Structures are given as C-alpha cells and as structure tokens.
C-alpha cells in the first residue's frame, strides 16, 4: 500500500535554505534521513563535527578490514566470507591459479569486482578478458571459470535470491553515467572454441543454500555454438563510468548508483572535480545511516574523505551512528588543495543489518572508530 510521510517541512533556528550549501560560517551539517538519500531528511547544523566522541562501548561501531592481508584459495566457493545478510553476501577471493573446475551459483546473481590482476573468463555465454576495475554480472546459474593471467583479487557480491538491474536514471536519461552500449559481453570466439574441446572430464561445483554439490561431465559443458536472448553476462569497467556532478552542489552517494538489487544497491565512486561554488560543501556531509548498513571497498587512488585507508580495505558503517569525513580530510577541504578527487571505491548499501564473518574479523583494524577523534 502506498503511503504519505507523517512529517512536514520545518526550519528551526539557524539553517541554510539550500541543503548542503551556504552553511553558517564555522559550522558543519549532519543529515538525518529516511530511505537513504531519497526520503524525508533534515540537515542539522552543528558547531562541531558530530564524530567527536571520547568513548565507545558496545557491539555497534564502525569497522574496517584489511582484505589485502587474506590469503589465496583455489575456488570462489573456498573464498573468505566477509559480510552477509539474507540479501547480499560478500566474499573476497585471491585466485592465484586457473580454476580446474566450473563454478555455478544457484543462490543468486553474482557480481564480480576485479580489484587486481588479469584473467580469461569462460562462461556459458563465451569468453571475456577481465582486468582490474571490471564489474562482471553473472546471472544466477551461469557456469564459469577463470584462467589466471596475473593473480586476481576479486570482491564477489552475491545478490542472494535476487538479481541485478540498472538504476532508473530519471532526469539525466539512460545514457548518463555509462551508456548501456558500454556493457561488454562474452563472445564465442576462437579461445572459447579451443577451451570447449579441452579435457576428458569436467566437474561443475554448484552452490545452492550455501552448500556445494558437484556434477561431473565426460566433456566440457561450456560448449555453446550460439545463443540469442536478453539474459547475458555483462561487464563494465569503473574507468568507463562518467560520474554525475554539479559544480554548485555536492551530490549524495545515490547519484553514483551503478547497480540495484532488491534490498541493496552498489554505487561506484570515481574521480571527479570538486565543487567550485564557494558556498557548496566539498566532502561528504556528516550523516546517520538511518536506514542502511553502508560498506565501502577501497579499490584505487587517494581516499579523500578518509585517513589511513589504503586500497584493498573495506569499511562497514552500520546503521545507528553518525559518520562523515575524517578530521584531516575536513582540513584539506577547507584548504582546497586539490582540484579533483582521485578515488575509485565500491559502495554497497544494504537495507538490513550485515553480519561480519570470522575471516573479516581476523584482519580487522580494531581502532577504526577512533580515527575520527581529533588529537588534542
């Protein structure tokens, strides 16, 4: 049933008329909001950053994990579980050797994000060379394997019992951010035909309900000679993303949505110029994650709103506390020392609480929540 929000527009005390711009001098803004950045929201003006805590107790806290410290495993089904809930499952896979068996995920669509390395991907639909910065969407049930060129580090993002789709691009039209024509797809090329003829016996390891079953074929089942349809594996590289920006207004992370699923979204932060209007804020505003658990995987570059974060790290900002730029980043914004951001990062915003798996805890930076504290 559709509904109307119970709230009404109000201005109380000292506030700017335009959200995220023309803040009262020496003040910061904290956004409280429903439905991510789409629902009713309030921009609250504070005289000091709302992250100036001096003590923190209890299980809720912002967390950071250095995935680069985790070891390799032979197949995606042996990869380290990182975070999960009923709708999304994140795994981290360092693949050093070519897969000798096929994988098939019967639990949901799989999104591969290639953090490092190069490989040849062979799947039902054909052959695709993959490299750092690639997102590859594999529809649920796709059989696939990779032949490693340079050791590959992959973030696997499973849309459990669901699929991936593109966001509604609304006012800016379907060719913005990336043109759907930029989506590459696997081909039934010479490399594919050559591999189809390889091997006397192939095993397919199928994941269903987080359990693995193995089916053996006396031939290579990646042997299609043709196909026709609207369902296929697709690839887009983060360097082909042309971000939305406004020189006068800091756009919320939702402007960078790349894929949507049923109860989570995937956004991509790529380099873009800073806002040039003197009244526009230039770093993410402080905000509560009132309806989402927010995950960011840091892929490459210099993470302008975070101190002490390097490529290969992943942070979890669960619902229930306020976060925003780290103190040094806030200082850099005030100095305007850089004309543009230089970061590539993948954000996963999940509607329901995420559980942290033991492998992630084994590489946790346990003092991350203190990184906002201003040193006296």
Distance of alpha carbon 69 from alpha carbon 75, whole angstroms:
18
Distance of alpha carbon 91 from alpha carbon 153, whole angstroms:
11
Closest CA to 337 of 279, 256, 283, 269: 283
Stretch that binds Fe ion, among 55-63, 235-243, 289-297, 348-356 (CB under 5 A): 289-297
**Which residue, 107 or 294, is less far from Fe ion as judged by CB?**
294
In the complex, least distance from residue 146 CB atom to Fe ion, rounded to whole angstroms: 32
**Which residue, 53 or 227, is less far from Fe ion as judged by CB?**
53
In the complex, least distance from residue 320 CB atom to Fe ion, rounded to whole angstroms: 12
In the complex, least distance from residue 348 CB atom to Fe ion, rounded to whole angstroms: 11
**Which residue, 77 or 286, is less far from Fe ion as judged by CB?**
286
**Which residue, 29 or 294, is less far from Fe ion as judged by CB?**
294
CA neighbours within 13 Å on the CB side: how many for 281?
27
Stretch that binds Fe ion, among 128-136, 137-145, 274-282, 292-300 (CB under 5 A): 292-300
Stretch that binds Fe ion, among 53-61, 119-127, 175-183, 294-302 (CB under 5 A): 294-302
> How many residues of this chain bind Fe ion (CB under 5 A)?
1
In the complex, least distance from residue 347 CB atom to Fe ion, rounded to whole angstroms: 8
**Non-local CB neighbours of 368 within 8 Å, separated by 6+ positions:** 61, 62, 63, 64, 315
**Which residue, 30 or 91, is less far from Fe ion as judged by CB?**
30
Place of tokens 């950071």: 64
**In 20-101, where do the E strands start and end?**
28-33, 41-46, 63-66, 80-84, 88-95
| Sequential DSSP letters for 282-296 | -SPPEEE-SS-EEEE
**Which residue, 126 or 284, is less far from Fe ion as judged by CB?**
284
Stretch that binds Fe ion, among 50-58, 96-104, 286-294, 346-354 (CB under 5 A): 286-294
Stretch that binds Fe ion, among 43-51, 137-145, 273-281, 290-298 (CB under 5 A): 290-298
- State which residue has the least CB distance to Fe ion: 294
**Which residue, 46 or 163, is less far from Fe ion as judged by CB?**
46
In the complex, least distance from residue 204 CB atom to Fe ion, rounded to whole angstroms: 39
151: left (phi over 0), alpha (psi -120 to 50) or beta: beta
Residue from the set 109, 294, 343, 349 that interacts with Fe ion by CB under 5 A: 294
Stretch that binds Fe ion, among 205-213, 214-222, 273-281, 287-295 (CB under 5 A): 287-295
CB atoms within 10 A of CB 355: 11
- Could you give the C-alpha distances from 195 to 6, 112, 220, 223, 286, in angstroms and in order? 60, 22, 8, 8, 52
In the complex, least distance from residue 177 CB atom to Fe ion, rounded to whole angstroms: 20
Per CB under 5 A, 31 contacts Fe ion: no
Q: What is the DSSP letter of 252?
A: -
In the complex, least distance from residue 349 CB atom to Fe ion, rounded to whole angstroms: 8
In the complex, least distance from residue 294 CB atom to Fe ion, rounded to whole angstroms: 5
Place of tokens 């991509």: 268
Mapping DSSP to helix (H, G, I), strand (E, B) and coil, where does residue 52 land?
coil
Angle (CA) 21 22 25, round 5°: 130
| Sequential DSSP letters for 4-17 | --S------SS--S
Q: Where are the alpha helices (DSSP H) in the chain?
A: 190-196, 327-335, 358-361
Stretch that binds Fe ion, among 155-163, 206-214, 265-273, 293-301 (CB under 5 A): 293-301
Per CB under 5 A, residues contacting Fe ion are: 294
């Amino acid at each position: 049933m559709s509904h109307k929000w119970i709230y009404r527009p109000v201005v109380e005390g000292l506030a700017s008329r335009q959200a995220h711009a023309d803040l009262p001098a020496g003040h910061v803004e904290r956004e409280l909001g429903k439905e991510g950045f789409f629902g009713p929201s309030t921009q609250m003006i504070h005289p000091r950053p709302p992250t100036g805590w001096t003590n923190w107790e209890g299980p809720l806290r912002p967390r950071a994990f250095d995935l680069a410290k985790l070891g390799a495993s032979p197949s995606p089904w042996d990869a380290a579980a990182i975070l999960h809930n009923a709708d999304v499952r994140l795994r981290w896979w360092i693949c050093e050797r070519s897969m000798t068996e096929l994988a098939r995920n019967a639990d949901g669509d799989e999104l591969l994000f290639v953090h490092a390395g190069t490989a040849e991907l062979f799947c039902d639909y054909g052959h695709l060379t993959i490299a750092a910065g690639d997102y590859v969407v594999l529809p649920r049930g796709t059989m696939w394997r990779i032949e490693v060129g340079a050791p590959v580090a992959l973030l696997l993002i499973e849309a459990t019992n669901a699929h991936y789709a593109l966001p509604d691009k609304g006012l800016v039209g379907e060719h913005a951010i990336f043109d759907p024509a930029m989506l590459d797809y696997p081909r039934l090329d010479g490399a594919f035909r050559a591999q189809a003829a390889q091997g006397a016996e192939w095993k397919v390891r199928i994941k269903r309900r987080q359990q693995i079953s193995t089916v053996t074929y006396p031939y290579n089942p990646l042997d299609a000679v043709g196909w026709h349809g609207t369902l296929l594996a697709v690839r887009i590289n983060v360097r082909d993303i042309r971000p939305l920006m406004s020189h006068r207004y800091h756009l919320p992370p939702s402007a960078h949505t790349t894929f949507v699923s049923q109860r989570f979204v995937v956004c991509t932060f790529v380099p873009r110029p800073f806002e040039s209007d003197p009244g526009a804020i230039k770093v993410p505003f402080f905000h509560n994650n009132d309806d989402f658990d927010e995950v960011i995987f840091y892929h490459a570059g210099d993470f302008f709103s975070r101190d002490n974060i390097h490529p290969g790290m992943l942070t979890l900002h669960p619902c229930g506390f306020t976060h925003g730029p780290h103190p040094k980043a806030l200082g850099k914004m005030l100095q305007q020392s850089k004309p543009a951001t230089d970061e590539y990062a993948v954000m996963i915003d999940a509607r329901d609480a995420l559980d942290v798996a033991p492998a992630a805890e084994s590489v946790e930076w346990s003092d991350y929540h203190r990184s906002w504290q201003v040193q006296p």
